[in-house]
Structure 1
Amino acid sequence: MTVAVMTGADATASAPSSAGPGRDARARRSAPSLAWLGLVPFAVYVVLFLALPTVLAVGTGLFAEDGSFTWNNLAALGDPVVLITLANSAWLSLLTAAVGAVVGALVCYAMLGLDPQGFVRHSVDAAAGVLAQFGGVMLAFVFIATIGIQGVVTQFLKDSVGINIFERSSWIYELPGLILPYIYFQIPLMVITFMPALAALKPQWSEANLALGGTRASFWIRIGIPVLAPSFLANLLLLFANAFSSYATAAALASQGSQIVPLQIRAALTSETVLGRENLAGALALGMIVVVGVVMALYSLVQRRAARWQA
């Protein structure tokens, strides 16, 4: 009888202890989480530097000064000067993206033979991370000091070899002068974004290819290139969008004229001879947003397909 009483007491005492953790868990789930506070800085950044400029571009591009809806601002995009500017931005972005993608992919291929934990591999990764963000006025100053009209390399070639690279024109300060600076930051960006896809190639695929009588060339033709093609195309689109939206380097180098869309927007906003150019600036900005948005949507679709092979 005593044993039965003690057993019941033990069961009664154990009931609250089993219910306690359950109540604590429910209390923790119902308590408000503060983890979302970590997203506040990023949300503020997105609103100030992405959402707000987009709203302003749409407002000035699709609405008149009195607030009425109009297509007149977008009609200015058919102006021959604006069309030439759009064409310049398109071919400059496509050219530098293609060169950066090909050269960057070759650098990534060369890095496959390096020790992932070695000094050289870490140095290349670190350099790519720094150079991909090295742009704007600093990059323009580097090129002016190096291959400008009075640059170090320019003077060396003129004094030592007798070659004047600016004999016919001052191309460094015109549209062709933007090609080298753009390629300069496109290549390291390609290295950063394409290397994970190249490193994701499984060694088992190469071993299976060799076991079936294949060669290194057949591996890349039948396996490597088809698997990497979506990633390469996605990164090519990313480089195109990066070059198409670049402004600071072009503004510092090509201070005269408006050869590309970002410089045309600046000219429309700062024009002292033609009034009412702000609406044209909004229309151009809206056009850039549409182009970059389409490119990044395609990038997302292609990258989603490429991710199947990187799991």
Structure 2
Amino acid sequence: MRSRAAAFGLLPFAVYVVLFLAVPTLIAIGTGFFDTTGAFTLATVAALGDPVVLTTFFNSFWLSALTAVVGAVVGALVCYALLGTRLDGALRSTVDSLSGVLAQFGGVMLAFAFVATIGIQGMVTVYLRDTFGLDIFENGVWLYSTTGLILPYIYFQVPLMIITFMPALQALKPQWAEANATLGGTTASYWLRIAFPVLAPSFLGSLLLLFANAFSSYATAAALVSQGSQIVPLQIRAALTSETLLGRENLAGALALGMIVVMAVVMVGYSALQSRAARWQQ
């Protein structure tokens, strides 16, 4: 009876997974391997080898990797700095609360915040230009290109790293540091031989999570980048809405299939690293 009640309690989550994960995945696979008439074809998937498509995947890779690395390093340093604070202290509570909010602060709101701050007529841009004669767009308006997505992505990557990596740092047992000191070890030897090896799976797992988070982000890029389709999510939008790609709507399914493959590989790696990290957090 209890097992039936538990299964019934999982029903809403199961419906959510089916509607928003399983069904879109099947649609992406179906549109990638079948044409508009329903006939099986490999032509759409073969379009993934097009130089334009490969360029968009490359742009998504380097943008996701760069923001993930920067976000992971900065977030890990913040977590390390917070180790010396009280768990129930005002500073820790404030950082935890802000991280939870800012990690989800994306899309049009984040794009507008950056446009209002460092846009062509943004507050900071105008102040720097009028006060110091410094024009941050002297060599071109980079904010509305792929390069301009770096700062907004880092903005929500760092809080996400704090949320995911802080539990791993808190799981470091004081007894390990005490044993290291008792055996004549130094602080450097503790971090190099004990802490870093223990934290490595959690750090790499968080890094992969940040990569997946940036790789799949759409709304912020769509709001900032108005010209062209420099990353995969924007290329999918173009395949669905552009008048120059009429008759090739199924290309969006092939692009989505490519993203699913990348995300699946990343999530498998993340799951494996988390399983390894869990052994030290018990």
TM beyond 0.5: yes
Deviation at 1:183, TM superposition (A): 0.3
Aligned to 1:218: 189
> Is the counterpart of residue 292 in structure 1 residue 267 in structure 2?
no
Q: Distance in 2 between matches of 1:169 and 1:230?
A: 40
Give unpaired runs (5+ residues) of structure 2: none
Written as runs of structure 1 = structure 2, the 5 A alignment for 1:188-207 is 188-207=159-178
**Equivalent position to 1:242, from 194, 199, 213:** 213
> Is the counterpart of residue 274 in structure 1 residue 245 in structure 2?
yes
SS at match of 1:150: coil
| Root-mean-square deviation over aligned CA pairs | 1.2
State the AA in 1 paired with 2:183.
L
Q: Distance in 2 between matches of 1:32 and 1:303?
A: 28
Aligned to 1:12: none
Aligned to 2:60: 89
Aligned to 1:133: 104
Q: Distance in 2 between matches of 1:249 and 1:302?
A: 29
**Equivalent position to 2:39, from 68, 76, 90:** 68
Q: Distance in 1 between matches of 2:245 and 2:39?
A: 22
Q: Distance in 1 between matches of 2:211 and 2:6?
A: 36
Deviation at 1:167, TM superposition (A): 1.4
> Is the counterpart of residue 150 in structure 1 residue 121 in structure 2?
yes
> Is the counterpart of residue 175 in structure 1 residue 146 in structure 2?
yes
**Equivalent position to 1:104, from 75, 100, 124:** 75
**Equivalent position to 1:163, from 123, 126, 134:** 134
**Equivalent position to 1:259, from 227, 230, 237:** 230
Q: Deviations over 1:213-249 (max 9, x none)?
A: 1111110011000110010001101100110000000
SS at match of 1:273: helix
Sequence identity, in percent?
A: 72
Give unpaired runs (5+ residues) of structure 1: 1-28
Q: Deviations over 1:160-203 (max 9, x none)?
A: 01001111211000111000000000000000000000000000
- Aligned length in residues: 282
Does structure 2 conserve the Cα–Cα contact (< 8 Å) formed by 1:58 and 1:282? yes
Larger radius of gyration: 1
Q: Distance in 2 between matches of 1:118 and 1:110?
A: 14
Does structure 2 conserve the Cα–Cα contact (< 8 Å) formed by 1:271 and 1:277? no
Pick which of 78-87 and 273-282 moved more.
Answer: 273-282
TM-score, structure 1 as length reference: 0.89
Structure 1 stretches of 4+ with a deviation exceeding 4 A read: none
Aligned to 1:25: none
TM-score, structure 2 as length reference: 0.97
